[in-house]
Structure 1
Amino acid sequence: MKNKAVILGCNYYIGLSTIRCLGIHGIHTVAVDYSDKDNYGADSKYTSERIIAPHYKEKKQEFIDFLKDYGSKQSVPPVLIPCHDSYVEVIDEHLNELKKYYLIPQTNQGLWSRVMDKEALHQLAVDHGVLVPETVRLNEENFFEKIETIVKYPCIVKPIDSPSFMAKFRRKIFEVHNKQELEEALAKAKQANEEVIVQRIIPGFDDHMYTFDAYLNQDSKVTHWLTCQKFRQFPINFGASVYTGQKYVPELYEIGAKFLEEIGYKGFGEIEFKKDAETGKFYLIEINARITNLNNLLFKVGINFPYITYMEMTGNPLPPKSVKEDTGRVFWYGFEDMLAVRDYVRTGQLSYSQVLKSYFKPKAYAIWNWKDPKPAFSYLKLLSGKLRKK
């Protein structure tokens, strides 16, 4: 296979799983990061080439010029695969110029940014008849009255630009329980120059969170898909998956596939839903427009999204496939799950016996792989260094 695969962001296990998913098929993988420090994903034996690029935010134009220069030197265009939201934003901003040098599934410049922008996504969902949590914007009249009557406490203060918010606060949202806490959260966001909205919390424990993971071809048709159910996340209640299982939920296909096709989405995408514990209805929470935390789970149960992307982009699309049964397999990010379990037990949301029972399932590990152990040892070294500092 002549086309290289350029993977952006290898200092996390998402980049690692992407490298593995492509490397097992003999594809030349290029691990790109802004530093050679802590990018344990690039230590995989499936990494063919590793290069350091200018920082995607601090030196954005230099980063784009770097990518264009690298792409221009290749005999055939590489497939470009971002593994972090910030990379997606930069690629989307420069999509048309980068497509001259790389194979990228998305053709509609700005669409990735729209689905990542919470305000724009909310409007897209409403326009297409998809349920979203009740939302109040800061510039609305009778703001606090609407919070009391429509959203109610507790509620969440949610960023418009998630990557920027995460970088500043190391959390996805602010959860508030009264007017005073709401005012304090809004003040923090304003001080950090972060635009936010206020949303109702859909009732239900973390196992009411689900995902619809899909690939849409160049005709914006879903060709590959499956669904998953979260069991635990970190930070708890409003965090990223740390223990999640594949679970066949056909209703999520009916909602998710229709929505993504109607908005003209292309490439891999993951919609996160929450099932209302009182009504049973599914609410769209967010969309991940890049390879996600669960990638190794999706691969283990039979759908290799990075490879599907590569093959379609290079003119050899794979036959459609979906997982319409419960395999029982779970994704497990051990370190953060340990932290999550501590907090679930501390807050009385789970007992140790419930947690222990949950572990008796076949695993798709975030980092560990018997055939490719080096990244795990690099990660342990990194982790031990951080713990020593603390």
Structure 2
Amino acid sequence: MGNKAVVLGANYYIGLSTIRCLGVHDVHVAAVDYAWEGAYGLESKYCSEALIGPHYKEDPAGLVTFLIDYAKNQDSPPVLIPTADPYVEFVDDHLPELREHFLIPQKEQGLYTKIMDKGTLHTLASRHGVAVPETVEMDDENLVGKVEEEIKYPCLVKPVDSPAFVAKFRRKLFKVYNKEELLEKVQQAKEENIEVIVQRIIPGFDDHMYTFDAYLNQDSKVTHWVTCQKLRQFPVNYGASVYTQQKYVPELYDLGSKFLEGIQYKGFAEIEFKKDAETGDYYLIEINVRITNLNHLLQKAGINIPYITYRELTGNPIEPKAIEEDQNLVFWYAYEDLLAVREYIKTGQLSPQKVLKSYFRPKAHAIWDPKDPKPAFAFGKKLANLVVGKVTNKK
């Protein structure tokens, strides 16, 4: 049978698209989650094995044992692919023992975490000549003075560790408009023992957000890449992609490849840039070090990241490739895009006509696939249960 692929996380569409990207090439996919409920990726016809294991945070040692026991029972080492930030942190924390039994692109323990940490990421980016927004640390003795002189209001209070911040505050960041709000939000973060930074807002609407999606081989050389332009996000202005187009932007290759190769990165990474509406300069905002929201879009454009990863790690790499033309393809996460559109129109950022016009394009859907419909029905059931739960709680 050869090497299997173990996909960590099946309760979100990123895990689902990873399962599909491997399954369409007849790779045996074992998908792991911590509960059956809500894990609609396990319903995919491309999921060869559905495994329920210990929770990555509640029992990380148990999950390590669970995964290693699984790998020991295989004829060949499986390829391990995390599909959410907490799973990346888990893999990074236990990289030495997991690498003894699994094929994993990254060899340097701590690099994933270093890149996910906004503070150390900005230091790395500056060292490698990539522009980052002006930033002040929360413990700076002259925090208010520096914000008023160098950053100006409104500005952003952003977490150093995004998963912890999102888990606590259910949002990616705080936008503050004056000194009082700044001090209030920094204090809230301190009370929760969450480190934050204060950052300048780069001018430009959401369509000034771009991504450089790349795979780097074991020699830390970019072999496959594609660039995209966000059109809408949710939550609006500072959220995740919900409507994004593949867009060829060669400058992003120059910036992104130099940085990733410079830090000796291996495997897949997605760098988010924002183009300054006033200067045209690109600023590095953050890096995702796992399969991302746009995975199905990349696959449809011709860059199947999970399968590229699998083939290289199992000793049969795919020929290098870059997408150097615009294919008019868009990624669409319909559920959250409809919520975003309502907010964009309500706040006057987009007109109904412009939104309607944008829909007449070929799409890479987040969840729906006519060849693999069961996950979409399972997701619909999950949404219905959430709605019923909210209605019941109000009574």
**TM-score, normalised on structure 1?**
0.99
Return the alpha-carbon distance in structure 2 between the equivalents of residues 178 and 221 of structure 1.
44
Query: How far is the alpha carbon of 1:43 from its aligned partner?
Result: 0.5
SS of the aligned residue for 2:302 comes to coil
Matched, 1:216 2:216: yes
**CA deviation string 1:337-377 (max 9, x = no partner):** 00000111111111111101111111000000010000000
Which letter maps to 2:76? V
Cα distance in 1 for residues equivalent to 2:292 and 2:312: 19
Quote the residue 1:374 is aligned against: 374
Matched, 1:9 2:9: yes
Paired amino acid for 2:121: L
The 3-state SS of whatever aligns with 2:261 is: helix
After TM superposition, the structure 1 stretch with the greater mean CA deviation from structure 2, 141-150 or 204-213, is 141-150
The CA distance in 1 between the partners of 2:211 and 2:372, in whole Å, is 28
Q: What secondary structure sits across from 1:364 in the alignment?
A: strand
Distance in 2 separating the partners of 1:333 and 1:45:
21
**Distance of 1:226 and 1:3 partners within structure 2:** 27
Q: What is the identity, as a one-letter code, of the residue corresponding to 1:169?
A: F
Q: Distance in 1 between matches of 2:140 and 2:195?
A: 14
Aligned runs of 1:237-256 on 2, under 5 Å? 237-256=237-256
What are the residue-to-residue correspondences of 1:230-241 with 2, within 5 Å?
230-241=230-241
Contact 2:138 2:195 in 1 (8 A): no
Q: Secondary structure at the match of 2:193?
A: coil
Once residues 220 and 116 of structure 2 are traced to their aligned partners in structure 1, the CA distance between those partners, rounded to angstroms, is 18
- The one-letter code matched in structure 2 to 1:335 is Y
Residue 22 of structure 1 corresponds to which residue in structure 2? 22
- Equivalent residue number for residue 175 of structure 2: 175
SS at match of 1:335: helix
Q: Secondary structure at the match of 2:308?
A: helix
Q: Secondary structure at the match of 1:271?
A: strand
- Trace 1:34-45 onto structure 2 (pairs within 5 A): 34-45=34-45
Cα deviation for residue 2 of structure 1 reads: 1.0
The answer to whether 1:207 aligns with 2:223 is no
C-alpha separation in 2, matches of 1:152 and 1:61 = 45
Please show how residues 1-390 of structure 1 align to structure 2 within 5 Å: 1-390=1-390
Q: Secondary structure at the match of 2:252?
A: helix
How far residue 244 of structure 1 moved from its aligned partner, in angstroms, is 0.2
> CA separation in 1, counterparts of 2:58 and 2:131?
37
Hey, which bits of structure 1, 4+ residues long, moved more than 3 A? Answer: none
**Cα distance between partner residues in 2 of 1:136 and 1:329:** 38
| Cα distance between partner residues in 2 of 1:331 and 1:205 | 18
Offset at residue 298 of structure 1 (A):
0.3
Shift in Å, 1:297: 0.3
- CA apart distance, 1:169: 1.1
Q: Count the aligned residue pairs.
A: 390
Q: Tell me how far apart the structure 2 counterparts of residues 137 and 116 of structure 1 sit (CA, whole Å).
A: 16
Matched to 2:33, the amino acid is D
Q: Which amino acid aligns with 2:178?
A: N
CA displacement 1:295-325 (0-9 Å, x = unmatched):
0000001110000000000000000001000
* Equivalent-residue separation in structure 1 for 2:388 and 2:138 (angstroms): 43
Look up the equivalent residue of 2:324 and give its one-letter code.
K
Structure 2 counterpart of 1:127, which letter? Answer: R
Tell me the CA shift for residue 141 of structure 1. Answer: 2.7
In the alignment, structure 1 segments of 5+ residues that lack a partner are: none
Partner SS state of residue 165, structure 2: helix
Uncovered stretches (5+) of structure 2, i.e. residues with no partner: 391-395
CA-to-aligned-CA distance 1:54-107 (integer Å, 9 cap, x gap): 000011111111111111111110000000000001101111110000000001
Letter of the aligned partner of 1:20 in structure 2? R
Amino acid at match of 2:49: E
Shift of 1:220: 0.1
Report the 3-state secondary structure (helix = DSSP H, G, I; strand = E; otherwise coil) of the residue aligned with 1:244: strand
